[in-house]
Protein backbone atom coordinates (compact mmCIF):
# COMPACT_ATOMS: atom_id res chain seq x y z
CA UNK A 1 0.00 0.00 0.00
CA UNK A 2 2.45 2.69 -1.09
CA UNK A 3 0.98 5.98 -0.01
CA UNK A 4 3.79 8.15 -1.29
CA UNK A 5 1.30 9.85 -3.56
CA UNK A 6 -0.18 12.31 -1.13
CA UNK A 7 -2.76 14.37 -2.91
CA UNK A 8 -2.90 17.71 -1.19
CA UNK A 9 -6.10 19.70 -1.51
CA UNK A 10 -4.56 22.28 -3.76
CA UNK A 11 -6.06 25.66 -3.09
CA UNK A 12 -5.19 28.42 -5.47
CA UNK A 13 -5.39 31.56 -3.43
CA UNK A 14 -5.25 33.87 -6.42
CA UNK A 15 -8.23 32.06 -7.90
CA UNK A 16 -10.08 32.46 -4.63
CA UNK A 17 -9.61 36.20 -5.06
CA UNK A 18 -10.61 36.22 -8.72
CA UNK A 19 -13.73 34.27 -7.85
CA UNK A 20 -14.71 37.19 -5.70
CA UNK A 21 -14.39 39.58 -8.63
CA UNK A 22 -11.01 40.92 -7.55
CA UNK A 23 -8.35 41.64 -10.13
CA UNK A 24 -5.29 39.47 -10.55
CA UNK A 25 -2.47 41.88 -9.88
CA UNK A 26 1.28 41.52 -9.57
CA UNK A 27 1.21 42.52 -5.91
CA UNK A 28 -1.47 40.00 -5.03
CA UNK A 29 0.43 37.28 -6.83
CA UNK A 30 3.53 38.14 -4.83
CA UNK A 31 1.70 37.97 -1.53
CA UNK A 32 -0.10 34.77 -2.39
CA UNK A 33 3.10 33.13 -3.59
CA UNK A 34 4.76 33.86 -0.27
CA UNK A 35 1.85 32.33 1.61
CA UNK A 36 1.64 29.25 -0.58
CA UNK A 37 5.33 28.42 -0.74
CA UNK A 38 6.04 28.94 2.97
CA UNK A 39 2.92 26.89 3.65
CA UNK A 40 2.90 27.68 7.33
CA UNK A 41 0.91 29.86 9.68
CA UNK A 42 1.97 33.50 9.68
CA UNK A 43 1.13 36.92 11.02
CA UNK A 44 0.44 39.99 8.91
CA UNK A 45 3.61 41.63 10.17
CA UNK A 46 5.69 38.60 9.17
CA UNK A 47 4.35 38.97 5.67
CA UNK A 48 5.22 42.66 5.64
CA UNK A 49 8.77 41.86 6.70
CA UNK A 50 9.13 39.12 4.10
CA UNK A 51 7.82 41.32 1.30
CA UNK A 52 9.61 44.63 1.67
CA UNK A 53 8.44 45.89 -1.70
CA UNK A 54 4.78 45.55 -0.80
CA UNK A 55 2.92 48.19 1.18
CA UNK A 56 1.53 47.24 4.57
CA UNK A 57 -1.94 48.40 3.63
CA UNK A 58 -1.98 46.02 0.70
CA UNK A 59 -0.76 43.14 2.82
CA UNK A 60 -3.52 43.70 5.36
CA UNK A 61 -6.13 44.22 2.65
CA UNK A 62 -5.17 41.07 0.80
CA UNK A 63 -5.24 38.99 3.95
CA UNK A 64 -8.70 40.32 4.73
CA UNK A 65 -9.89 39.41 1.23
CA UNK A 66 -8.55 35.90 1.62
CA UNK A 67 -10.21 35.47 5.00
CA UNK A 68 -13.49 36.78 3.59
CA UNK A 69 -13.14 34.31 0.74
CA UNK A 70 -12.71 31.52 3.26
CA UNK A 71 -9.28 30.70 1.88
CA UNK A 72 -7.45 31.63 5.07
CA UNK A 73 -8.22 30.86 8.70
CA UNK A 74 -7.75 33.68 11.14
CA UNK A 75 -6.70 32.37 14.51
CA UNK A 76 -6.74 34.58 17.60
CA UNK A 77 -3.59 34.40 19.68
CA UNK A 78 -4.10 35.36 23.30
CA UNK A 79 -1.03 37.53 23.60
CA UNK A 80 -0.20 38.71 20.15
CA UNK A 81 -1.33 39.31 16.63
CA UNK A 82 -3.68 36.80 15.03
CA UNK A 83 -2.14 34.10 12.87
CA UNK A 84 -3.34 32.99 9.48
CA UNK A 85 -3.11 29.67 7.72
CA UNK A 86 -4.43 28.28 4.49
CA UNK A 87 -7.85 26.71 5.05
CA UNK A 88 -7.45 23.22 3.70
CA UNK A 89 -10.69 21.80 4.97
CA UNK A 90 -14.09 23.35 5.35
CA UNK A 91 -14.49 23.30 9.10
CA UNK A 92 -11.69 22.30 11.41
CA UNK A 93 -9.80 23.16 14.56
CA UNK A 94 -6.25 24.02 15.41
CA UNK A 95 -3.41 22.75 17.51
CA UNK A 96 -0.96 25.32 18.79
CA UNK A 97 2.41 24.34 20.18
CA UNK A 98 2.88 26.31 23.39
CA UNK A 99 6.65 26.21 22.96
CA UNK A 100 7.24 27.15 19.33
CA UNK A 101 3.85 28.42 18.20
CA UNK A 102 3.54 26.00 15.31
CA UNK A 103 -0.06 25.61 14.23
CA UNK A 104 -1.66 22.43 12.96
CA UNK A 105 -5.14 21.57 11.78
CA UNK A 106 -7.41 18.68 12.58
CA UNK A 107 -10.95 17.52 12.17
CA UNK A 108 -12.76 15.24 14.53
CA UNK A 109 -16.31 14.09 14.25
CA UNK A 110 -16.71 13.51 17.99
CA UNK A 111 -16.00 17.18 18.61
CA UNK A 112 -18.76 18.13 16.21
CA UNK A 113 -21.12 15.59 17.77
CA UNK A 114 -20.53 17.04 21.22
CA UNK A 115 -21.24 20.48 19.83
CA UNK A 116 -24.60 19.39 18.54
CA UNK A 117 -25.54 17.74 21.83
CA UNK A 118 -24.53 20.88 23.75
CA UNK A 119 -27.34 22.72 22.00
CA UNK A 120 -29.76 21.51 24.66
CA UNK A 121 -27.70 22.76 27.58
CA UNK A 122 -26.79 26.14 26.19
CA UNK A 123 -29.08 29.14 26.39
CA UNK A 124 -29.75 30.65 22.99
CA UNK A 125 -29.09 29.36 19.49
CA UNK A 126 -25.67 27.98 18.68
CA UNK A 127 -24.35 29.59 15.51
CA UNK A 128 -20.78 28.30 15.57
CA UNK A 129 -17.85 27.30 17.66
CA UNK A 130 -14.12 27.43 17.85
CA UNK A 131 -11.66 25.22 19.58
CA UNK A 132 -7.92 25.13 19.98
CA UNK A 133 -5.79 22.45 21.51
CA UNK A 134 -2.53 23.53 23.08
CA UNK A 135 0.22 21.01 22.68
CA UNK A 136 3.91 20.46 22.94
CA UNK A 137 4.68 19.43 19.40
CA UNK A 138 6.77 16.39 18.56
CA UNK A 139 9.65 18.53 17.43
CA UNK A 140 9.69 20.46 20.71
CA UNK A 141 9.38 17.20 22.63
CA UNK A 142 12.41 15.93 20.75
CA UNK A 143 14.31 19.07 21.51
CA UNK A 144 13.47 19.02 25.20
CA UNK A 145 14.24 15.31 25.43
CA UNK A 146 17.70 15.72 23.97
CA UNK A 147 18.19 18.82 26.04
CA UNK A 148 19.53 20.54 22.95
CA UNK A 149 18.71 24.10 22.10
CA UNK A 150 18.22 25.50 18.62
CA UNK A 151 18.80 29.18 19.24
Q: Show contacts with its own copies in window 128-147 (CB under 8 A).
A: 128-138, 140-141
**Of 77 and 111, CB closest to DNA:** 77
CA distance 70 to 79: 24
**Of 38 and 133, CB closest to its own copies:** 133
Q: Does 40 bind DNA (CB under 7 A)?
A: no
| Secondary structure (3-state) at 53 | coil
Contacts of 96 (CB under 8 A, 6+ apart): 75, 77, 102, 103, 132, 133, 134, 135
Q: Does 135 bind Zn ion (CB under 5 A)?
A: no
| Secondary structure (3-state) at 120 | coil
CB of 77 to Zn ion, least distance (A): 14
With CB under 5 A as the contact rule, the residue among 34, 99, 104, 111 that binds Zn ion is 99
Amino acid sequence: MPSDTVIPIEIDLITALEDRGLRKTATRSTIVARIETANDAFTAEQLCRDLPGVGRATVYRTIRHLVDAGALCKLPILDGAPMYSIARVEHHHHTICSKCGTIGEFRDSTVERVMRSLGKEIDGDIVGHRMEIFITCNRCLGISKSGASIA
